[in-house]
Chain A
Amino acid sequence: MGLIAPLFLLGIGLIALPIWLHRMNTLNPERHPFPSAMLLEQSKRTLIQKKLKYLLLMALRIGFISLLMLAFAKPLIPRPPVIIGGNDAVLHMIVMDTSFSMNYGDRFDDARAVVREIVSDIGDDDIVQLIAASNNVEILMEPTGIIADIEPVLEQLQPGYGRLDMGNMIVSVDRLINEYELATQVHLISDFQESALPSKFADLVPDSLKDNLHSLRLYQTREGEIDNAYIDSVMRIENGIEVAVRSGPDISGEATVEISLNDETLASQSIEFAESGLTLFDFPLDEVPDGESRLVARLINDDPLGEDNVRYFILDNSPPRPVLLLTENSDALSVKYLTAAVESGQQGYRVEPVKLNDLDPRIVQRYPWIIVDDMGIINETLVTSIQEYLQNGGAIFAALGDRAASRNSVPVVDFEITAERLASDISVPYTVSAIDLSHPALAETSGWRDIRVSRYLGLNVGNEADILVTLEDGSPLVIEKKTGNGRVLLLTSSLDNSQNDLPVRPVFVNYVAEAAKYLSGEQQLKQNQVAGDFLQLVQTGSAAGQIIDPQGSDLLSLAETHRSQDIKLNLTGFYEIYTADTESLVAVNPDLRESEQNLMSSEAISAWRDAITAPENLQSSTGPVNIEQDSIEIWHILLVLMGIVVMIESIIGNHYLGYRRGYT
């Protein structure tokens, strides 16, 4: 009986009994009527002592029932499997490459045949383990001496869409070898693509081979290099789509590419394969639907690796989201710089400059974040609306211009303006001395030390604000203040290039983009990913949602996403993600490196074999081999504990119940 067995769960429900009984006793303590308490005296025992004793008694009873149920459940403390056998017993660890390239032709059937051959050759008492290697190493079967168990697993195994990295695979296999503590012969069956090799050859040799107890044997599938043609990329270009097809040197003739948008075929083109190996197809697009569209590009070709002739792509035609820019003069330089920086970012924002006089304060609430080019322009009427906006989770990207210099404090954030600082020698302006790169709005930016500040406003920010960028004289240049659920990022200088050169420095675009991401609270979902990647649900801006895979299966229900936030993308195609606020698409394609058909040369494989030469004494044993899942049974420990609990409960219970007993 396990810990989730119904009987155990039912039994553990008995815990409610002592709780209920103790509660009943608490509610209805046994009282002895007496004519008068006039001649009696209260016992000196304190109420707290009694309650503690009471709770201890209840805890002991609950503990007793729990231990009893646990003892019945016979819980085990698992240990890694220990293989007990003759000293010469060998574990045959068969590692099969199940990466995307193994889909080619008969490669995987060859691999199966090799496995069967290996299994047929091992000694009767040896044991076998089957492992699949792609993006990660997956144990398909625990070590077994029953050879017949391998065949059904082998038959069902299919190559996937992932990529094999030999270096990572060797590390994982090495760890497994050390775990089993048995002479191990690793059989690696792969097509040995060049792209799978690690940067260092030494990484191909497991450390465990150094003690001469283990060995690694390499089996290359018979199917050699092929001339593969595949879609290398799909890009959106001006007024159209560009599809790049890559082909081997021996491929010639006409290549035909067909694109479809949202399951409707749009166009087809046929072009001769370029000798360079890269053929480009341009498809004009007159009209693209709003939002995200599914674009599929297909290469009509009969090469043996057909799965990479299809490329999935998300065509995002979502309208840019508006951002309010509150200004006094919509023709000001600061507006131009801010507009350019915000709209050039990948977040897809469109700046809406609004003059202060034209502003209806109620519309502020519509924007996830707003820009104020000079906080000095905010009048008393607007302060209330903006503070309410911040309380509700809004955010402001702001600067202090000339209008702020004429005030005593900064509106909304209430920083006291202590002085207007001007660099004493305008030819030697202030520079930045410290940057808080741990802050999300600054982490991805660089170049702050290149900017020059000739004028800024000195502020008394107190302890309620964080200084993110500091000038060489110790004054803050960028400040963040959190107000309610919202936040304000404030530049203590202007954004019109008159007091500093930040708006014309490259860091400005980066800073605005990162600040936009930070202030809006949005994280960008990577729309085009490769198979084997993990999709982080939090990137959709929601903690929960529903994910449907390309086959239409409900990969994660809404409830499950509360528990698991990372979803492995195993299939190619379009994944649909539904959250409370958004519907998103993610296009998943095979890793392009798997489509490259350059295999390791025979010399390289020979060198590898030389480096992993098997020790001569690694022989199949003739002694019996047993595999034991070595788990510790703890029921007898539980029985001892139960005895102790019962003893303590009896002592405490007897003492506790003493004063309740009354007449005896």
Chain B
Amino acid sequence: MNTSQTQAGPSRLLQPDVLARLSNLELVARAVVEGFLIGLHRSPQFGFSQEFVEYRPYVEGDDPRFVDWNVYARSEKAYIKRFLGETNSHLMLLLDSSASMSYGSSDISKFHYGQFLAASLAFMSSQQHDAVGCIVFDDDVVEYKAPSTRSGKLLGVLHAIDQAEASRGTDLGKPFQYFSELSNRRGMVVVISDFYCDAQDMIDSVRPLAFKGQDIILFQLLDPGELNPGFKDAVLIEDLETGETMEVSKKFIRVQYPKKIQQHIDSISEAATSVGADHVLVNTSEPLDQALHNYLLFRQRRR
């Protein structure tokens, strides 16, 4: 059985290199989510359906489409219908668009992968009637879309993600602080980045959000070329963010670098754990399944 056979069907659309050929991000998100869901067995554990659960009073900001007009006609009170798996929470996506994200040893860069992931999560959450917003950042906040459940807002979020370009440096502090100032509701925060920063600095940025009760999941995207550089000799390295060059010896690349990158991953993971955040390492050569699966697990736990 060859690879193409194993990837036949909708799940094939979860392969990053296939997704890279699709130009429309909404189409990508739809294909990913639908492909992913088709691959799932229906399970109450992952309750993601339109089965009615309860009513709750309408509050300002709720999508009027979900007002049960029959109840309103009877009682003249507006109630919102709630469905199984729908928690009506906020999802805020923080996408790193720093220059380091533009790296990719294959057809797809980390940034593209991050765009797909962010768009897929946004689409999936939108299906569950979560309010979805996003912040695109590098060393500053590049784009901000406030969370909303309106269907038109999803397109706005997808457009913001789609239009972003990877450039400049990374500063996690600013987007977190920005979001912290604007956010007054609990919800989920998904950070998609390669986390080329000091673990302690990252924790210092995340901690205020955690204290506010936000549920945080960190997707650390790393390219296979970063995890295991293919250099077989000394090489002249150019830092994508600073432009600085550095000659790196063969010995360092082979022996010390793998240890260093693993230590860095571990430090990010430990730092995330220390503030109650989830850390998911994503290899950009792998399909999006694992990332989405982790998200759903994370969401399920939150419920």
Contact = CB atoms under 8 A, between A and B. Distances in A.
Given A30-B236, A35-B240, A41-B256, A662 B231 contact: yes
B274 to A, nearest CB: 21
Contacts of A40: 237, 246, 248, 252, 257
Contact of B260 (A35, A39, A662): A39
Interface string B188-232: 000000101000000000000000000000000001001001111
B233 A664 contact: yes
Contact of A658 (B194, B234, B238, B257): B234
Given A37-B242, A661-B232, 8 more contacts: A33-B240, A36-B194, A36-B241, A37-B246, A40-B248, A42-B246, A659-B233, A659-B234
Given A41-B256, A42-B247, A43-B249, A32 B237 contact: yes
Nearest to A29: B236
Nearest to B232: A664
A362 interface: no
B285 to A, nearest CB: 15
A37 B244 contact: yes
Interface string A5-43: 000000000000000000000000111111111111111
Contacts, number: 95
A79 interface: no
B234 A39 contact: no
Contacts of A39: 257, 260-261, 264
Contacts of A50: 247
Nearest to B197: A38
B231 A663 contact: yes
A39 B103 CA distance: 15
B235 interface: yes
Contacts of A37: 237, 239, 242, 244, 246
A129 to B, nearest CB: 67
Contacts of A43: 234, 246-249, 252
A43 B247 CA distance: 5
B129 interface: no
A200 interface: no
Contact of B252 (A41, A660, A663): A41
A636 interface: no
A44 interface: yes
A654 to B, nearest CB: 10
Interface residues of A, number: 25
Identify which of B230, B244, B249 gathers the most chain A CB atoms within 10 Å of its CB: B249
Which 4 A-B pairs have CB atoms at the shortest separation, nearest pair first? A659-B234, A35-B100, A36-B196, A37-B239
B279 interface: no
A658 B233 contact: yes
B238 to A, nearest CB: 4
Contacts of A45: 234, 247, 249
Nearest to A38: B196
A35 B196 contact: yes
B234 to A, nearest CB: 3
B245 interface: yes
B90 interface: no
A52 to B, nearest CB: 15
Contact of A660 (B236, B245, B250): B236
B247 A35 contact: no
A33 B238 contact: yes
B112 interface: no
A30 B226 CA distance: 19
Nearest to B99: A35
A660 B232 CA distance: 11
29 contacts: A29-B236, A31-B236, A33-B240, A34-B238, A34-B239, A34-B240, A35-B196, A35-B241, A36-B100, A37-B239, A37-B244, A39-B257, A39-B264, A40-B252, A42-B246, A42-B248, A43-B234, A43-B247, A43-B252, A45-B249, A659-B233, A659-B234, A659-B235, A659-B247, A660-B235, A661-B233, A662-B233, A662-B236, A663-B231
Interface string A635-664: 000000000000000000000001111111
Nearest to A41: B252
Interface in B234-290: 234-242, 244-250, 252, 256-257, 260-261, 264
B110 interface: yes
A36 B100 CA distance: 6
Identify which of A31, A36, A40, A664 gathers the most chain B CB atoms within 10 Å of its CB: A36
A35 B223 contact: yes
A662 B237 CA distance: 9
Contacts of A31: 236-238, 245
Nearest to B233: A658
Contacts of A658: 233-234, 250
Contacts of B235: 32, 659-662
A31 B236 CA distance: 5
Given A34-B239, A35-B194, A35-B226, A663 B234 contact: no
A31 B231 CA distance: 12
Identify which of B103, B235, B240, B245 gathers the most chain A CB atoms within 10 Å of its CB: B235
Contacts of B264: 39
B157 to A, nearest CB: 26
A661 B250 CA distance: 11
A661 B236 CA distance: 9
